[in-house]
Structure 1
Amino acid sequence: MRGQGVGQLLVKQVVEFARAKEIKITPLCPFPRSQFERHEDYADVLLKKAGSLFLYEAMNRVGGDG
């Protein structure tokens, strides 16, 4: 699937989901991290400082209210 834009599309969909749910993202894998570095327009969903409490709260918001 390399070179077909699937990864970029996936990251874009995750960013749109995060915006809709008003959650922040901490990209841990190299490819999503590189996409956040390339796309300044993703900055609004980027969690600047991650900690276990932030991640726990974000996970609960995603699954909490459907």
Structure 2
Amino acid sequence: MSSENEKPESAPDTDPTDIDKLAEKYLDFWQQNLTIWATDPKALERWVETLSAGQSDKPEKTD
């Protein structure tokens, strides 16, 4: 029998502060990148080229 205070078996055993730290790191990462891309056009160009190269590796859709 389970009580109301128990977590479901599939619930991750994660401390909310860990999630907050991870979220903060994620936002910091993107803020740093946006700052670099806004001030260095070559860095933005390299990033776009990298994304484009990854997209060209995907197989074409055929209907």
Common fold: TM-score over 0.5: no
Radius of gyration: which is bigger? 2
TM-score by length of 1: 0.33
TM-score by length of 2: 0.34
